[in-house]
């Protein structure tokens, strides 16, 4: 039996800490931090995530602005919106929700965001700083996982961490953060991906597995070592007519099997997902603090 890494409770705690900081700022007559989110199109999952980010801002006293753009907006129009946000002094940071429609080049869009306002930590300048272990905005999902490990006091120094998936948003930065100097950190990391051979042989050797693949129930008990720490980043919508929403959210980890073998495990939902939002808010507070000083 494993101990659940409760991302929901931990994220609520972080949000309470931030809410207290906002109250202190307001008591000093200062404005609250301000986050904007740009959403292009009507993708159901993206709408849910962005809605949740905006609601969380409101809950802790941050100001928030949601900018919704049509699916058929041109790249030039989106870049013009980003330029406006870069120059808006009432804003501390903003995000452009990914994925973007196929006709828009994500690399060009991310490159257009001013690094000082890039609270997602996706801009090459911030990504580079993160890789060098410098203070900067860290992509919210891997940042949330590191924070969860920290708050549960899990020591991963010298341990073998296996990351599944090499996306720019999760897998790649995760592999860097786990291996960076620090606590948590100092792990020996294997980054696996779609071309990896004999994946199960590698995961079976892992003291910690971070799965960011997007394949429901992919990681089964036979792929996991006894006592491993299991972090599930998967949030795939699976059709389920019995559910009022018509779907359920399923992680990469076969939870019922793997929880019997793991020492610690994140549930889906209620694990990594809520931590992502809390760390975006944390990054926004960092942007605010930099602006104010």
State in angstroms the smallest separation of the CB of 43 from ligand GUN: 10
Least Å from the CB of residue 97 to ligand GUN: 5
Active site residue 240: no
Please identify which residue in 19, 98, 131, 215 interacts with ligand GUN, judged by CB under 6 A: 98
Of 6, 92, 118, 120, the active-site residue reads 120
Looking at residues 104 to 133 of the shown chain, list those that interact with ligand GUN (rule: CB under 6 A).
120
169 versus 191: smaller Cβ distance to ligand GUN: 169
Considering the candidates 6, 15, 53, 232, report the single residue annotated as catalytic: 53
Among 22, 57, 95, 209, binds ligand GUN (CB under 6 A): 95
140 binds ligand GUN (CB under 6 A): yes
Of residues 140 and 208, the one with the C-beta less far from ligand GUN: 140
For position 203 contacting ligand GUN by CB under 6 A, the verdict is no
Q: Mind spelling out the 3-state secondary structure of the chain?
A: CCEECCHHHHHHHHHHHHHHHHHHHHHCCCCCCEEEEEEECCCHHHHHHHHHHHHHHHHHCCEEEEEEECCCCCHHHHHHHHHHHHHCCCCCEEEECCCCCCCCCHHHHHHHCCHHHECCCCCHHHHHHHHCCCCCCCCHHHHHHHHHHHHCCCCCCCCEEEEECCCCCCHHHHHHHHHCCCCCCCCEEEEECCCCCCHHHHHCCCCEEEECCCCCCCECHHHCCCCCEEEECCCEEEECCCCCCCEEEECCECHHHHCCCCCEECCCCCCHHHHHHHHHHHHHHHHHHHHHC
Q: Which range touches ligand GUN (CB under 6 A), out of 68-76, 93-101, 194-202, 262-270?
A: 93-101
Q: Is 120 marked active-site? A: yes
283 binds ligand GUN (CB under 6 A): no
141 binds ligand GUN (CB under 6 A): yes
Instruction: Return the active site residues.
Output: 53, 97, 120
Task: List interacting residues with ligand GUN (CB under 6 A).
Answer: 95-98, 120, 140-141, 169, 276
């Amino acid at each position: 039996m494993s101990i659940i890494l409760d991302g929901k409770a931990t994220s609520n705690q972080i949000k309470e800490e931030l809410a207290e900081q906002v109250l202190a700022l307001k008591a000093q007559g200062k404005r609250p931090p301000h986050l904007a989110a740009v959403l292009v199109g009507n993708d159901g999952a993206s709408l849910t995530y962005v809605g949740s980010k905006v609601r969380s801002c409101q809950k802790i006293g941050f100001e928030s602005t949601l900018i919704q753009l049509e699916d058929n907006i041109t790249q030039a129009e989106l870049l013009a919106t980003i330029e406006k946000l870069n120059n808006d002094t009432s804003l501390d940071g903003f995000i452009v929700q990914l994925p973007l429609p196929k006709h828009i080049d994500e690399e060009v869009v991310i490159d257009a965001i001013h690094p000082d306002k890039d609270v997602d930590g996706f801009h090459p300048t911030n990504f580079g700083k993160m890789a060098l272990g410098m203070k900067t905005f860290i992509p919210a999902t891997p940042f949330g996982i590191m924070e969860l490990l920290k708050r549960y006091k899990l020591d991963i120094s010298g341990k073998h961490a296996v990351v599944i998936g090499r996306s720019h948003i999760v897998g790649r930065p995760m592999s860097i953060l786990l291996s960076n100097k620090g606590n948590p950190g100092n792990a020996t990391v294997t980054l696996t991906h779609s071309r990896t051979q004999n994946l199960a042989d590698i995961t079976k050797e892992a003291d910690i597995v971070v799965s960011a693949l997007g394949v429901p129930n992919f990681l089964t008990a036979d792929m996991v070592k006894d006592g491993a720490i299991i972090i599930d980043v998967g949030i795939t919508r699976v059709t389920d007519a019995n559910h009022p929403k018509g779907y359920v959210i399923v992680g990469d980890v076969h939870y019922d099997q793997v929880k019997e073998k793991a020492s610690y495990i994140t549930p889906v939902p209620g694990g990594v997902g809520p931590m992502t939002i809390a760390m975006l808010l944390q990054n926004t507070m960092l942007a605010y603090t930099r602006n104010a000083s």
